[in-house]
Chain A
Amino acid sequence: MPSPHPDHRYRSPSLAASVIIIAVINLLSAGAAWCDSDAARQIIQLAERIDQEIESQNADRLPRQTLSDAGYLRRVTLDLAGRIPTIAEIKQYEDLDLPDKRLQVTTSLIQSPDFAYHQRNELDTFLLRPLNHDREWRSYLLEATKENRPWDSIFREIMTPEETQPEDLRPTAFLKHRLGDLDKLANDSSVIWFGVNIGCAKCHDHPLVDDWKQEHYYGISSFFKRTYRSKKGLIGERFDGKVKFDTTSGESKDADFMFLTGTKVTEPELSLDAEVLKQYQEQIKKAEQDDAAETPPQPLFRPRQQLVDLALSDQQQRFFAKNIVNRTWARFFGRGIVHPLDQIHSGNPASHPTLLAILTDDFINSGYNVQRLIHAITLSVAYSQALPMTESDSPSHGENKLENQSDRGVRYFQHAEPRPLSPHQLSLSLLIATGNPEKTAEQISNPDWEQDRGKLEERSEGLAQKLEIPGENFQVPVSEALWFSNSSEMQNQYLGGGKDHLVGYLNEIEDPSAIISQAMFATLGREATSEEQVVLSKYFEQRNEQRVDTIKNIVWALVCSPEFRFNH
């Protein structure tokens, strides 16, 4: 809080920090009671199983290094809350002297409103975002993530919205935005829900993967062939319609309703007479064109619903569960246990098959509880490993050796892999980093934080939509660097000198080294190294006359650093 006395224009940073700590202390205590529960103990056990399995594959005894408290907090806050931690959160965590403080902080984060929002953003990016930004759909996802809706329920709601929530059009977006392209609908569904990219098996049996034949491609397509959307926005299925395809030997075939595991669904004979069928077909056609038309009847045999039932049946559910477990793992490690993520097949074995099996079993037994899986992962020692050491730090020298180690280290999860922030993570973190840290800390500790987080999401949307969604081989595009370097939003809004901004806040502090220290904490969540202190102090000294601009430029340089851009 700025002092009204002109003589006390500059405040002590340590005082500021202590004020913040008092303000946010409740955050950590929120989950304290839960940490003693059975559920917590099971999660801790699962985390231990993860570490046993990871360790068992570390035959080379690769050197490992665990993150510092501040490093862990930054990583886990980005991963669970979708934003960087505030200065206050870091100080508080560092000062906390408890053996289970990771359990405490992960629990608090998972229970915080931030988690549901972040989880929503992640799901949206995974399921729809590259195709469309759909606000209604996002509100549906938020509702689901707030109550930790089980993954099988979400699957059902999205893939058969007409069965689960006929009045609610929001979950139809997944199908709606893909309905124009059967190939895309079928392959996206296969990739997203089952981790199987069958695109390559369209024109011939998959050239590299024995598992995937043309029959699989058209088998999956068959389940979607009859799906239509009425003008009103309701999803339905037609009474007839088969996928036909030409085999490589030139034979024309009707595709079976066949799941990726080879299991087929037999369609019962349609017991409608031709007149009635024709009438229904016309009714459907009308419903597709006219929003006043009445909703056509549903056929008894509905292939898309059959697919969902089949995928969740006792015999097939592991296939379905394994994919989301693998994808969730990859979110936190930058790499799947089976990798690439859309290549789950016999020719591409898991790096840690037992681990994948343990996690899949637990996931199914816990009722498809994504939150539990995430919690266990973030509590594992494997998750808290640092980036690989570079040559100068590494005990063993020699380029090849280092790279081989590094490669294996990534493959066997012995150390961390930097992960680019998602558009939302970056946009939100930029808002947090460049905002007034005291005000932000106060806001987060406030009971209204859930609402404020919603507002923060809105504010982050503009930039998030400009940024590229990181894919498998993400490279920071130059358009992003140009935006950070030259956009008026960056210069005038994020780096504004007013009291709501970090620049204005730092400008109230007298001592340059305190400014540097606070700027480092606000942006990178750590103290400046002595080298950085030297560089930044020198920069400060050289530009004594232009104090605000100097601070702006320092903050800019920090938020434009690779250290800020990645989760590491």
Chain B
Amino acid sequence: MANHADSGHPKQSDSLDRRSMMRLMGSASGIGLAANMNQITALGESRLNDQLRASGKRVILLWLAGGASQLETWDPKPGRPTGGPFAQIQTTVPGIGISELMPKMSTHLEDTAIIRSLNTKIADHGTAYELMDTGRVKEAGVDFPHLGAILARELGNIESKVPDYVSMYTSTEGRRKGSAGFLGGRYNPMFLTDAMMPENIQRLESITDTDHRERAELRDTLSKLFARHHSHPSFEGHNSAYGRVRGLMASDYLFDIEREPESIRAQYGPTQFGQQCLVARRLVEAGVPFVKVARAWWDSHGQNFETHQELCADLDHCMSTLLDDLKERGLLENTLVISLGEFGRTPSINGSLGRDHFASAWSCTLSGCGIQGGSVYGKTDENGNTVVEGEMSAGDLYSTIFAALGIDHTKEYMLGSRPIPIADFDSTPCYSILT
């Protein structure tokens, strides 16, 4: 399937970047995204790759599954009936206070922007997850790509030797794989659940490395012979998947934190979340553009305060260690660290000393790449019931994330003849927290 306008088709030039290429192809006849995608695979990618590699932006999403409480993290309301028992502590950024459950982060805000004004309205786990992981309300009949897939596509290298979307989700509650939706299986996550090592990434002992390599070469040779008479983007996509196998296998060491010095492992600490954050750092260091580390399950309908004492200790330690480590390695500048869940928790405290689902006024953070550190965006009322300043939707958050990464948030994908902007319609980046 090719996709050329009949006239005025410009020659591909060295300066043609991916974005303009997408535009070009999007504007051609309505063959659909499949053609575009395959076309990208089919065209000589090396020049584009250089540009993409040069950009080198990466993202780590700390996914607080189940919904962490904004009042026990980024938007405390001490002394208010809704405030709960925890105190607010002053951070090293003058004028910004956060919950005392985040003491380490209180000294790490210089690279972090806190957003306190998310109003995403949807407060059931499944739908809210879809909203926050795709940046838009689910629409029957359209399979929207999840954030990781969008960023794998926008920031990744099509023939990358390392994975471009790794997602870790160990707890079983609320576990959802995330999908590349209409972007296609190329951008599906490498999904880690029980084991820290991805499935089928290591060579079996029953086959030698030479045999493994040579049979792949044999496969490749036969495919090339076949392609001489039957060239098609679908076949090339298939070959490209096989072409990535050896590279991915060679990246198995990235998942092995035993290779880290003891001192680094000790810094991240013994919890599983800490270990996964360390894997995430290893992955982005090696060029993986998107890593999601899910920490489940924050859904504290009962005993919210006890639950947050446990889980915030983990979040505070791991997030601050991760930011430190990225910074020391010079990676933070190009790595955006997001802490986000599907919603926050009710200001009102229920009979079980719990907080319930709440999506009307909640918080998240963005750190590192493209972010104006030490800033706070938006404001909630004194009890945290409503947003009173700088209301932000899921689409706005996505726009902000894209803008922080240097991706044009107005960019569109073509689904058939229908343009779909990568951030939802009418969304705007929050420029005040961007550098």
Tell me if chains A and B make direct contact, with any CB pair below 8 A: yes
Q: How many A-B residue pairs have CB under 8 A?
A: 189
- The answer to whether B200 and A487 have CB atoms under 8 Å apart is yes
Q: Say if the beta carbon of A410 comes within 8 Å of chain B.
A: yes
- One digit per residue, 1 when the CB lies within 8 angstroms of any chain A CB and 0 when it does not, for chain B 198-214 equals 11111110110001101
Q: Say if the beta carbon of A27 comes within 8 Å of chain B.
A: no
- The answer to whether A486 and B204 have CB atoms under 8 Å apart is yes
- The answer to whether A406 and B1 have CB atoms under 8 Å apart is yes
12 residue pairs A–B, Cβ–Cβ below 8 Å = A199-B141, A340-B416, A407-B1, A475-B186, A475-B237, A481-B242, A481-B244, A482-B201, A487-B200, A491-B207, A536-B218, A557-B219
- The answer to whether A485 and B211 have CB atoms under 8 Å apart is no
Q: A184-B140, A491-B206, A562-B226 are in contact. Are A479 and B184 (CB under 8 A)?
A: no
- The answer to whether A474 and B185 have CB atoms under 8 Å apart is yes
Query: Which residues on the A side are within 8 Å of B202 (C-beta)?
Result: 486
Interface residues of B in 180-198 (CB under 8 A from A): 182, 184-186, 188, 190, 198
Query: Which residues on the B side are within 8 Å of A197 (C-beta)?
Result: 141
- The answer to whether B2 and A562 have CB atoms under 8 Å apart is no
Q: Say if the beta carbon of B259 comes within 8 Å of chain A.
A: no
- The answer to whether A556 and B219 have CB atoms under 8 Å apart is yes
- The answer to whether A475 and B241 have CB atoms under 8 Å apart is yes
- The answer to whether A343 and B416 have CB atoms under 8 Å apart is yes
Query: Which residues on the B side are within 8 Å of A484 (C-beta)?
Result: 242
A485-B245, A558-B222, A561-B226 known, 11 other contacts, Cβ within 8 Å: A200-B139, A340-B416, A391-B231, A393-B229, A406-B1, A472-B32, A475-B186, A535-B218, A560-B219, A561-B223, A562-B235
Q: A191-B141, A468-B185 are in contact. Are A482 and B245 (CB under 8 A)?
A: yes
Measured between alpha carbons, how far is A410 from B242 in the docked complex, in Å?
Answer: 27
Query: Which residues on the B side are within 8 Å of A562 (C-beta)?
Result: 223, 226-227, 234-235, 238-239
Q: Say if the beta carbon of A342 comes within 8 Å of chain B.
A: yes
- The answer to whether B211 and A553 have CB atoms under 8 Å apart is yes
Q: A482-B201, A486-B249 are in contact. Are A390 and B230 (CB under 8 A)?
A: yes
Show the binding face of A for B, using Cβ within 8 Å: 181, 183-184, 186-188, 191, 197-200, 202, 208, 340, 342-343, 387, 389-393, 400, 403-404, 406-407, 410, 417-418, 420, 468, 471-488, 491-492, 529, 531-532, 535-536, 539, 546, 549, 553-554, 556-558, 560-563, 565-566, 568
- One digit per residue, 1 when the CB lies within 8 angstroms of any chain A CB and 0 when it does not, for chain B 322-359 equals 00000000000000000000000000000000000000
Query: Which residues on the A side are within 8 Å of B185 (C-beta)?
Result: 468, 474-477, 480
Q: A407-B2, A477-B185, A554-B218 are in contact. Are A390 and B248 (CB under 8 A)?
A: no
Q: Which of B38, B188, B206 contacts A477 (CB 8 A)?
A: B188
Question: CB-nearest residue of chain B relative to A467?
Answer: B185
Q: Say if the beta carbon of B19 comes within 8 Å of chain A.
A: no
- The answer to whether A486 and B201 have CB atoms under 8 Å apart is yes
Q: Say if the beta carbon of B418 comes within 8 Å of chain A.
A: yes
Interface residues of B in 20-60 (CB under 8 A from A): 31-34, 37-38, 41
Measured between alpha carbons, how far is A407 from B218 in the docked complex, in Å?
Answer: 31
Query: Which residues on the A side are within 8 Å of B198 (C-beta)?
Result: 482
- The answer to whether A479 and B190 have CB atoms under 8 Å apart is yes
- The answer to whether A475 and B184 have CB atoms under 8 Å apart is yes
- The answer to whether B418 and A208 have CB atoms under 8 Å apart is yes
Query: Which residues on the B side are within 8 Å of A406 (C-beta)?
Result: 1-2
Question: CB-nearest residue of chain A relative to B242?
Answer: A481
Which 3 pairs from chain A and chain B are nearest by CB? A473-B34, A187-B140, A199-B141
Query: Which residues on the B side are within 8 Å of A181 (C-beta)?
Result: 140
Q: Say if the beta carbon of B432 comes within 8 Å of chain A.
A: no
CB distance from A481 to the nearest CB of B (A): 4
- The answer to whether A199 and B142 have CB atoms under 8 Å apart is yes
CB distance from B365 to the nearest CB of A (A): 31
- The answer to whether B34 and A472 have CB atoms under 8 Å apart is yes
Q: A393-B229, A482-B200, A482-B245 are in contact. Are A198 and B188 (CB under 8 A)?
A: no
CB distance from B21 to the nearest CB of A (A): 16
